[in-house]
Amino acid sequence: MRFWNTYVLAHSIEEALDILSHAPGSALPVAGGTDLLLEIQQGEHEPVHTLVDITHIPELKRLEETEDHLFIGAAVPVSRVAESPLVRHHATAVAEACSQIGGPQVRNSATLGGNVAHALPAADGMIALLALDARAEVASLEGRRLEPMENLFKGPGQTALDLRREILVGFHVPLRRLHQASAFGRVMRPQGVALPILNTAVWVERHGEVIGDIRVAIGPSGPVPRRASAVEAVLRGQPCDQETFAAARRAIRESIRFRSSPLRASAEYRYHLSGVLLEEVVIKAWQRTLEPSVVEAV
């Protein structure tokens, strides 16, 4: 069968949900298609009867600062996310993560909504959103709601959303305050699949010379993405120094169960890298906490 039978460019959320819920055969939302269309083309995903393209819905393409949060529309191409001064300021980790997804052509299509809804345990944008404590705005036939990121995942590659009746509208990221900052880093392998063997995003709030508050997300660290709370606990309230990082490395070993994947990395390598990467990313964020809290000129 063809990759799809009907391809609809939806212009509003209501229209998209309406078509998704009423389409005769299978139906799915599609944004950049860099996951979904690729999988269909490769025969790794069944062809879909109706694809509802959500990239023409104005609300999903918004990228703006409101009173208490930054809104990143689910269908904003990640190239725009990466370059946005607003995102670079308030959600530096998200901008850094998005700037590393694929190449420029892929980034012009790929979206954060797709990155999250694809639900892989090490998607770069998703890991950054997790550390920033973003909440996802979900539109369903019943109305709108905000969900913590953790609630969006059911298993590897399985979203908890019902894509026949729900779509992601965008992400609400808390605004950055003085002495707060975030950072993202990853390690790739030059051979094999395009996904990182490890990525890490960190948000930190500085209290004088100690880490007042911190959030850490490490991928892939389990079937569904989640924060590394045991690692956060060890870092919280501590100075940003070698002793703290040694404790964090122990906490990683004790609390995270890395897997060996034959073509990408062994668990031991991931444990080692994870300590290295965590230190690098925490220090990067820590240094940024001293930056002035204004958005750089557009």
Query: Is 265 an interacting residue with respect to other proteins (CB under 8 A)?
Result: yes
Give the H or E element holding residue 79: helix 78-83
Percent helix, strand and coil across the chain, each rounded to 5? 35, 30, 35
Q: Minimum distance from CB of 245 to ligand FAD (Å)?
A: 26
Number of helical H runs and strand E runs in the chain: 11, 13
Q: Minimum distance from CB of 38 to ligand FAD (Å)?
A: 5
Q: Rank residues 163 and 210 by Cβ distance to ligand FAD and give the closer one.
A: 163
Q: What Å distances lie between residue 163 and 29, 168, 261, 295, CA to CA?
A: 7, 9, 29, 36
12, 26, 109, 293: which one binds other proteins (CB under 8 A): 109
Asked if residue 87 lies in contact with residue 67, where contact means CB atoms within 8 angstroms, the answer is no
Q: Rank residues 161 and 217 by Cβ distance to ligand FAD and give the closer one.
A: 161
Query: Is 158 an interacting residue with respect to other proteins (CB under 8 A)?
Result: no
Q: Which stretch binds other proteins (CB under 8 A): 2-10, 162-170, 207-215, 221-229?
A: 2-10
Residues 6+ apart with CB under 8 A from 20: 27, 28, 29, 50, 52, 163, 164, 165, 167
85, 155, 165, 193: which one binds other proteins (CB under 8 A): 193
Q: Minimum distance from CB of 108 to other proteins (Å)?
A: 5
Looking only at Cα atoms, what is the longest distance across the chain?
A: 62
Q: Which does 276 bind (CB under 5 to 8 A by kind): ligand FAD, other proteins, none?
A: other proteins
Q: How far apart are CA 120 and CA 128, in angstroms?
A: 13
Q: Rank residues 191 and 242 by Cβ distance to other proteins and give the closer one.
A: 191
Residues 6+ apart with CB under 8 A from 69: 172, 173, 174, 175
Q: Minimum distance from CB of 73 to ligand FAD (Å)?
A: 9
Chain residues binding other proteins by CB under 8 A are 1-9, 33-34, 37-38, 41-42, 47, 51, 53, 55, 79, 102-106, 108-109, 187, 189-194, 263, 265-266, 268-269, 271-273, 276
